[in-house]
A and B are shown apart, each in its own frame.
Chain A
Amino acid sequence: MLEFLNPMLRPEWMISLLFIGALLTYFAGKVSSALRTTFAIIFSVFVAFLVFLSGSRDVLTYWRPSASPMGFRFVLSINALSWFFALMISMVSALTIVYSAGFGKNTEKDNAFYGLNLLLMGAMLGVVFSGDMLSFFIFWEIMTLASYLLTTLAGKRAEKGALNYMIISTAGAYSILIGMTMIYTRFGTLEFSGLASVMGGADPMFLLITLSMLGIGFAVKAALAPFYVWAPPAYSEAPDSFTPVFSGALSKLGPYGFTLFMYGIVGLPALAKMGTFRGISDFGYIIALLGSITAVIATLYAIAQDDIKKLLAYSSISQLGYVMMGIGIGTSIGVAGGLYHALNHAIFKTTLFMGAGVLIYTTGSRKLSDMGGLGTKMPITFLTMLIAIFALAGIPMTGGFGSKWLLYEAAIDKKFVLIAPLAFIASVGAFLYSFRILQSAFLGQLPERLKGAKDPSPLITIPMLFFAGLLVLFGIAPGIPLGIIASVESYLGIPALNVSTYSVYLGANFGAYNAFTVMTVITLALLVALALFFIAKKSRKVGQTDTYMAGEVPEHHVDLYLHYSMNFYRPLERIFAPYLRNRLERLYDAFGSGYELISEGIRRIYTGDVQHYVYYVMVFLAVMILAGWWWL
């Protein structure tokens, strides 16, 4: 039925459609805002659909530019790995564009917003479809630029965050550039397929240096410690309708880069040459360790946040730490867990940031303590966010559990006693901060001024419901995403995970996780509980303020002291406060201001006094002549 689309199922089509769409959308906005929004939705959803249709079949496209000084060709390809990530990215991007259309704001910046969003989507697809390092780098830079520009649309408050994001990202990208050129000058090719056959034979030292250079760039995007400092301000200050893409899709390019280079190009045997620790490469172990440390640190910060977007931003960093942990471990279970968690995180964090956008739009504040009691007023938002939070916390019944479980199993299997407890604690911390969102925004007392709150338009709720539905589906049938991941693993030359639709079997040393059984049992238990509930007398509903107050009658400032959400985890914060004073940020700041001081000194070289300048010229000449004399 859809055969007529077959010629379009090629990477160059998808990317150029989006790039053209970006321009069209931008200029359509000059004509009419409705046209612009329609364009943006059509282009993004259509391309997402194309990506979905294309499947993981191998498609390769070459393009050799004429008159280039380096003599290379550009390669775009679709394979199992790139398709998996492309699917994730296009899904998140397209639906976020639909979502942002739901707000129906029509400001000047919206043209740029939609145009850049399409550009960003195209660039992200470009990164994953790249079959050579140069196109990878070019798309990477376009992606950074587009996301930076999108962040700046938020205006003054995003100033510092956007700047830091751009600086650190650019430094990271330059690190990639160095790594890339090192590889090119050594092997004379930039194509992944060619590199995959020669990189394995390189000496370990060279591999270590290039992988580290590339890794720094990817780690920046993946917000891995110690490079995550840009992420909290950038994620939280970016426009509300862009953050879902930022955290949900864009951050996944870091793990993608690691997976591609560690397993797709260098390969496990060559990694192992760099030295191993209990069967996994030292390089991978360090990544995994950094990932788990990131997970814990970011979790502790997240617990202390009152700003919903900041909280989610730290949570993103923490969850990406998990992803990196799995990818670093690099066993069949580890990579599966990492990739699956990347997918889950893309889905649930997008949903959460979407929900946060709705909450901010409804309440006009980003502070959790300004919200409250919205659960019954906005049931769809509440339910979708609840499901996303369940996935975030890793409660069985949602997809989120499967990936966390795989990650723990991977760590325990290799007896990584440093990584496993860190991962566990970060996960317990995730209960804490995710409950803070529920408690502060949806539960408790409804403030007087939010009495009129209601669910947003279908354009907003449908993407959220779609994602929540996916999470539940994955919770029942983890085999669907894990099947794709297993094929990615066999593409990467890692033993594929043994999965059926409903259950995952890891081997004799592990308990099984049969999602279907779990769901059945939960359903049965639910029936029992409901029976108990309904057998007893029906209850009478009373008002929100009709609560036990030890005899006190709440009259004034009801919102203030009936809704407990200000400084929710104060006792915990008090314990951690001395340890969490943004130490890393301070280090970066100190470096920055240190350099500013140096540059102030350098500036003084130009005294403005012409006598000094003449003196410089004379000294230069004298030194040159003396050197020349002595040399010859």
Chain B
Amino acid sequence: MIAEILVLIFMPVFVSFMGLLFMGIQRKITARVQNRIGPPFYQQFIDVMKLFSKRENIGHNWVFDIGPIFAIVGMLTTMLFIPMGGFRLLSMDGDLIVVMYLLVISGLGMALGAGASGNPNAGIGVMRGLTLMMAYEMPFVISVLAVMVYYHTTSLAEIVGMQSGMWALIILPLSALVADMALQAQFGKKPFDQPIAPAEVATGPIVEYGGKYLGMLMVAHSIGMFVEAGLFIDIFLGGGLLFHQPGIIWQVFNFLFWVLLVFALYTLAVLVNAIMPRYRIDQAFVFYWKWPTIIAIIGLAYALGVSVW
């Protein structure tokens, strides 16, 4: 019980810390790819600390305040419901569909706050974000459905457990491929960063946020990175479980491997980001509803065929 509470407290702190660290590293990587020097890897920590300690914060109204608060609430809640590298906080209750909907809270709260700011750029950003969501959800849902159909369960813990022999990535490679494409948009990386597109809509939803608001959003973002990647790992990479023996030491190894996997997934997204231009939002939509969807359908048909016959 006490251990669980400790984990409960430790996890969000750790995840936020690692998220910020990863982001710092990624900025460095991107810079290297683009032949720049880039900021130091601890730049994100400096930024967050600076933002939280700002002497003046600018707000608009109470709805505006909801945005960052809900962003954190949504991400924290979701995180607790998914298995994270062997740590199963509340994930016994974690139904994949519940998790997918909990994940939305953050975005919707964010959208509310952004809308309340009254800045048209924020409105455009939210519109793009929602449109993009509709775009990538199509292939993503179909590929996740393939997994659910294949294992005939919707429990995340069950899905993770069933992959102890072989990862779903290997059994259902097409679905995994599509889900990773969707992950690119979930991370908000190019070519799917239309919602924040700094050069077009001045960072979109977060255009009005500064100070502690922005700080909270950065924290939420770093948790979000782990949640999104974690979900992918749980579904396709066996929950990042390398060792199936009991024992705290193995569990720590598992957890470290899981963190490594998150890093790998994120790096992959960042590398793509570094060399890609940005789609227009309607191009992004058409892209997702075309090839990834077709591939996902093939994957689903395969999963269905294997599971039914």
A–B contact with Cβ pairs below 8 Å: the answer is yes
**A interface residues with partner B (beta carbon < 8 Å):** 373, 375-376, 382, 386, 390, 393-397, 401, 404-405, 408-409, 412, 415, 417, 420-421, 424-425, 428-429, 431-432, 435, 438-439, 442-445, 509-514, 517-518, 521-522, 525-526, 528-530, 532-533, 536-542, 544-545, 547-550, 561-565, 568-569, 571-572, 574-575
B135 smallest CB distance to A (angstroms): 9
Find out whether the CB atom of B72 lies under 8 angstroms from the CB atom of A528. Answer: yes
B108–A533 touching, CB < 8 Å: no
Q: Among A382, A526, A571, which residue has the most Cβ atoms of chain B within 10 A?
A: A571
Q: Does B133 contact A (CB under 8 A)?
A: yes
In the complex, the answer to whether A540 meets B280 with C-beta atoms within 8 Å is no
Contact with A along B71-103 (1 / 0, CB 8 A): 011101100110000000010111111100110
Contacts of B60 in A (CB 8 A): 541-542, 544
List chain A residues, Cβ under 8 A from B101: 394-396, 401, 404-405
Stretch from B136-144, B171-179, B238-246, B250-258 at the A interface: B136-144
The segment from B26-34, B35-43, B149-157, B268-276 that touches chain A is B149-157
User: Quick check: B118 and A540 within 8 Å, CB to CB?
Assistant: no
Alpha-carbon distance A517/B63, docked complex (angstroms): 26
A–B Cβ pairs within 8 angstroms, 23 of them = A412-B148, A415-B307, A424-B137, A431-B130, A439-B111, A442-B115, A443-B63, A443-B123, A510-B95, A513-B95, A529-B216, A530-B69, A536-B212, A536-B215, A542-B60, A548-B202, A550-B202, A564-B120, A564-B123, A569-B131, A571-B128, A571-B131, A572-B282
- Would B282 and A529 count as touching, CB distance under 8 A? no
Listed residue (B92, B94, B116) with the most chain A CB atoms within 10 angstroms of its CB: B116
Q: Quick check: is B211 within 8 A (CB to CB) of the other chain?
A: yes
Q: How far is the CB of B128 from chain A (nearest CB, A)?
A: 8
Expressed in whole angstroms, the Cα–Cα distance for A544 and B300 within the complex equals 48
Contact B211 A539 (CB under 8 A): yes
Query: Are B58 and A539 closer than 8 Å at their CB atoms?
Result: yes
Tell me which of B93, B111, B112, B124 contacts A514 (CB under 8 A). B93
CB-based contact B108/A393 at 8 Å: yes
Confirm or deny: B117 has a beta carbon within 8 angstroms of a beta carbon on chain A. Answer: yes
Interface residues of B (CB under 8 A from A): 12, 52-63, 65, 68-70, 72-74, 76-77, 80-81, 90, 92-98, 101-102, 104-105, 108, 111-112, 115-121, 123-124, 126-128, 130-131, 133-134, 137-138, 141-142, 145, 148-149, 152-158, 202, 207-208, 211-213, 215-216, 219, 280-282, 285-286, 300-301, 304, 307-308
Closest Cβ of chain A to B85, distance in Å, is 19
Interchain CB contact (< 8 A) of A532 among B72, B127, B142, B211: B72
Min CB gap A65→B, angstroms: 52
A511 and B121: CB pair below 8 A? no
- Assess whether A443 is in contact with B115, with CB atoms less than 8 Å apart: yes
Chain A residue nearest in CB terms to B282: A571
In the complex, are the beta carbons of A539 and B59 less than 8 A apart? yes
Cβ contact within 8 Å between A563 and B120: yes
Contact B123 A525 (CB under 8 A): no
- What is the CA–CA distance of A84 and B189 in the complex, to the nearest angstrom? 48
Q: Contact: B105 with A395, CB < 8 Å?
A: yes
**Which chain A positions have C-beta within 8 A of B76?**
521, 525, 528-529
Partner of B134, one of A404, A526, A572: A572
Q: Which of B116, B208, B212 contacts A537 (CB 8 A)?
A: B212
Which residues of chain B are within 8 angstroms of A575 by Cβ–Cβ distance? 282, 285-286
Known: A412-B145, A431-B133. 9 other contacts (CB 8 A): A376-B63, A415-B152, A417-B145, A417-B149, A417-B304, A443-B112, A443-B116, A444-B123, A511-B156
Report whether A435 and B130 are in contact in the complex, using a CB–CB cutoff of 8 Å: yes
- B97 / chain A contacts, CB cutoff of 8 Å: 405, 408-409, 511
B212: shortest Cβ distance to chain A, in Å?
4
Query: Beyond A425-B141, A564-B124, is A547–B211 a contact (Cβ under 8 Å)?
Result: no
Q: Does the CB pair A536–B138 fall under 8 Å?
A: no
Q: Contacts A417-B149, A536-B212 given; indicate if A432 touches B134 (C-beta within 8 A).
A: yes
Of B90, B124, B142, B148, most buried by chain A (CB within 10 Å of CB) is: B148
Cα distance, A540 to B59, chains bound together (Å): 6
Contact, CB under 8 Å: A375 / B126:
no
Tell me whether A428 and B127 are in contact (CB under 8 A): no
> Does the CB pair A533–B104 fall under 8 Å?
no
**Least Cβ–Cβ distance between A55 and chain B, in angstroms:** 32
With A435-B111, A517-B93 given, is the CB distance from A548 to B208 under 8 Å?
A: yes
Closest B residue, CB atoms, query A538: B57
Closest A residue by C-beta to B280: A571
B-side contacts of A401, CB under 8 Å: 98, 101
**Which residue of B53, B118, B154 is within 8 Å of A409 (Cβ)?**
B154
Contact, CB under 8 Å: B142 / A421: yes
Partner of B137, one of A425, A510, A529: A425
A337 CB, nearest partner CB in chain B, Å: 12
Which residues of chain A are within 8 angstroms of B118 by Cβ–Cβ distance? 373, 443-445, 544-545, 547, 562-563
Q: Are B115 and A439 in contact (CB under 8 A)?
A: yes
Contacts of B98 in A (CB 8 A): 396, 401, 405, 511, 513, 518
Write the chain B residue with the least CB distance to A386.
B112
Asked if B61 and A511 make an inter-chain contact with CB atoms under 8 angstroms apart, the answer reads: no
CA distance A529 to B305 in the complex (A): 46
Verify B61–A521 contact, CB threshold 8 A: no
Establish whether residues B61 and A376, one from each chain, have CB atoms under 8 Å apart when the complex forms.
yes
